[in-house]
Amino acid sequence: MCNEYIPFLSEIKEVKKHTEIEYTFRMAYVGDVKPGQFFEVSIPKFGEAPISVSGIGEDYVDLTIRKVGKVTNEIFENQVGQSLFMRGPYGNGFELEDYKGKELIIVAGGTGVSPVKGVIDYFGDHIGETKGMSVIAGFKGPKDILFKDSIKRWENQMNLTITVDKADEPGYKEGMVTAYIPDLEIRDLDQAAAIVVGPPIMMKFTVMELQKRGIKEEQIWISQERKMCCGIGKCGHCKMDDTYICLDGPVFNYTKGKNLFD
Query: What is the pLDDT of the chain when averaged over all its residues?
Result: 93
Residue 1 has pLDDT above 70, yes or no: no
25-68 pLDDT, tens digit each: 999 999 999 999 999 999 999 999 999 999 999 999 999 999 98
Look up the CATH number of domain 6-88.
Answer: 2.40.30.10
Residue type for position 192: A
- Residue extents of the structural domains in the chain: 6-88, 94-256
238 annotated as belonging to a binding site for a ligand: yes
pLDDT value at position 5? 84
Coil, strand or helix: which one is 251? strand
Q: Which of 2-6, 128-132, 167-171, 258-262 has the highest mean pLDDT?
A: 128-132
99-115 pLDDT, tens digit each: 999 999 999 999 999 99
161-174 pLDDT, tens digit each: 999 998 888 788 99
> For residues 229 and 90, which has the higher predicted lDDT (pLDDT)?
90
Residue 262 has pLDDT above 60, yes or no: no
Top CATH class of 94-256 equals alpha beta
2 annotated as belonging to a binding site for a ligand: no
Shared fold status for 6-88 and 94-256: no
246 annotated as belonging to a binding site for a ligand: yes
pLDDT value at position 2? 74
178-230 pLDDT, tens digit each: 999 999 999 999 999 999 999 999 999 999 999 999 999 999 999 987 778 88
Long-range contacts of 70-75 (CB under 8 A, 24+ apart): 70/46, 71/41, 71/42, 71/43, 71/46, 71/47, 74/43, 74/46, 75/25, 75/41, 75/43, 75/49
> How many Å apart are CA 114 and CA 120, to the nearest integer?
10
Q: Contact 57/96 with Cβ under 8 angstroms?
A: no
> How many Å apart are CA 259 and CA 10, to the nearest integer?
37
Which residues share a beta bridge with 26? 14, 62
59-83 pLDDT, tens digit each: 999 999 999 889 999 999 999 999 9
Spatial neighbors of 56 by CB under 8 A, at least 6 apart, are 33, 34, 35, 62, 118
